[in-house]
């Protein structure tokens, strides 16, 4: 979920709702704000906006990656534009107004869909009038907002570069409630005008994970189901069986894809990663891949978490989910 998604030592400074604890003031964390941008963004041309908290990059035709590098989540939301409508896939941390950024990029009506409803993807939802979601209890609970107590770790010195957003109220940071205006289903088609997006409901990371497929352009938005870095499969809401089915399903799309567009770290990833994830997870679940126990977590939810490393990604999985 963050810069830590590219480096395991960050994992134990996570937010309260996941109940992981350790000292957030490591040397690595203190250095992070000096160099928040990860390698890979230099090949994209940034579009300047009035909100420098966000870094906006056109990554393919009428698709903008809206990146938040100054919080360790390193979250990416995507604005996808058609001839008649636009869709915003995730709304980020809610630390600054993604709505105002989107207004600078397009005057078309905006519909929001979330890749899933962890707080770092729904932070700006409350500012939009049209929000489509998955019809699950998990989704509806998330729409009630997240308290400051649950996510206060996101505005600590270790997790936020405060000089980049001096107006943020760290003492009261929370996720505002929002209203779902309609539901999406597996196979729903979203017509933006000259661009159609197909909805895939892909549970596993959470019960309400969504992928979007632009078949005509070979683009698949994967949310947190895949990104470059440690993949989180260890906290409440994760279903490892469902995740395996999801990855198997998505891997079948690879021959027709040009790029994956994940919700963290970097956009435009090779689709073959999905095959590698499918094969890697099969090795893990068959007991043919050795994992290393993560140390330092003090909560029951992070107890006995193993990391299984592969090139470009790893799995973070609780032992009890493996049934080995």
CATH, residue 196: 3.60.15.10
φ and ψ at 233, to 5 degrees? -135, 50
Domain range for 46:
3-322
Of the pLDDT bands very low, low, confident and very high (cuts 50, 70, 90), residue 13 is very low
pLDDT on residue 117: 97
**pLDDT for 149-187, tens place per residue?**
999 999 998 889 988 898 899 999 999 999 999 999 999
Whether pLDDT at 2 is above 50: no
156 close to 104: Cβ distance less than 8 angstroms: no
> Percentage of the chain with pLDDT > 70?
87
- What pLDDT sits at residue 22? 27
The pLDDT value given to residue 236 = 83
Is 9 within 8 Å of 26 (Cβ atoms)?
Answer: yes
Per cent of the chain over pLDDT 90 is 78
- Say what the pLDDT of residue 3 is: 43
User: How far is residue 309's CA from residue 228's CA, in Å, rounded to a whole number?
Assistant: 12
Query: What is the band of 17 on the pLDDT scale with cuts at 50, 70, 90?
Result: very low
Domain count, the chain: 1
- Whether the per-residue pLDDT at 215 is higher than 70: the answer is yes
- Of 5-14, 17-26, 105-114, 208-217, the poorest mean pLDDT is in 17-26
Largest CA distance in the chain: 53
Pick from 81, 151, 148: which is nearest to 120 by CA?
Answer: 151
Using the predicted structure, report yes or no on whether residue 324 has a pLDDT greater than 70.
no
Average pLDDT over residues 218-225: 98
Q: What sign does the dihedral 3-113-115-80 (CA atoms) show? A: negative
Would strands 210-214 and 219-223 be described as parallel, antiparallel, or unpaired? antiparallel
Q: Of 89, 63, 90, 82, whose CA–CA distance to 191 is shortest? A: 82
- Return the residue matching tokens 């980020």: 92
Residue 323: pLDDT band (50, 70, 90) is: confident
- Residue recorded with tokens 């999406």: 184
CA distances from 208 to 101, 184, 241 (A): 26, 11, 15
Q: pLDDT tens digits for 223-280?
A: 999 999 999 999 889 999 999 999 999 999 999 999 999 999 999 999 999 999 999 9
201 and 210 in contact (C-beta within 8 Å)? yes
Q: What rounded mean pLDDT belongs to the chain? A: 89
Determine how many CB atoms are found less than 10 A away from the CB of residue 92: 27
- Which pLDDT value is given to residue 142? 97
Integer Cα distance of 228 and 64 in angstroms: 19
Return the minimum-mean-pLDDT range out of 90-104, 135-149, 298-312. Answer: 298-312
Do 158 and 33 contact (CB within 8 A), yes or no? Answer: no
pLDDT at 11: 39
pLDDT score, position 298: 52
- Reported as a pLDDT band with limits 50, 70 and 90, residue 4 is very low
């Amino acid at each position: 979920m963050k810069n830590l998604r590219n480096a395991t030592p960050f994992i134990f400074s996570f937010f309260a709702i996941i109940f992981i604890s350790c000292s957030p003031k490591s040397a690595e964390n203190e250095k992070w704000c000096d160099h928040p941008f990860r390698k890979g963004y230099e090949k994209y041309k940034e579009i300047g906006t009035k909100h420098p908290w966000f870094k906006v990059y056109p990554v393919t035709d009428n698709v903008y990656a809206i990146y938040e590098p100054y919080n360790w989540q390193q979250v990416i939301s995507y604005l996808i534009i058609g001839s008649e409508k636009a869709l915003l896939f995730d709304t980020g941390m809610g630390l600054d107004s993604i709505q105002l950024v989107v207004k600078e990029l397009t005057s078309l009506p905006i519909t929001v869909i979330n890749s899933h409803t962890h707080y770092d993807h729904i932070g700006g939802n409350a500012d939009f009038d049209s929000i489509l979601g998955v019809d699950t209890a998990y989704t509806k609970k998330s729409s009630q907002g997240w308290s400051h107590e649950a996510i206060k770790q996101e505005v600590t010195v270790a997790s936020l570069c405060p000089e980049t957003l001096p107006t943020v109220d760290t003492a009261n940071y929370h996720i505002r409630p929002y209203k779902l205006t309609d539901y999406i289903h597996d196979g729903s088609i979203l017509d933006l005008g000259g661009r159609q997006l197909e909805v895939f409901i892909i549970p596993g990371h959470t019960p309400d994970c969504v992928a979007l497929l632009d078949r005509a352009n070979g683009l698949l938005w994967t949310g947190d189901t895949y990104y470059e870095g440690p993949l989180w499969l260890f906290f409440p809401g994760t279903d490892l069986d469902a995740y395996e089915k999801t990855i198997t399903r998505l891997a079948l799309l690879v021959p027709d894809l040009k790029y994956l567009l994940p919700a963290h770290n970097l956009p435009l990833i090779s689709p073959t990663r999905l095959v590698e994830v499918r094969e890697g997870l099969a090795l893990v679940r068959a007991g043919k891949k050795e994992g290393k126990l993560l140390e330092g977590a003090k909560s029951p939810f992070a107890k006995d978490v193993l990391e299984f490393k592969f090139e470009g990604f790893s799995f973070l999985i609780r032992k009890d989910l493996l049934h080995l």
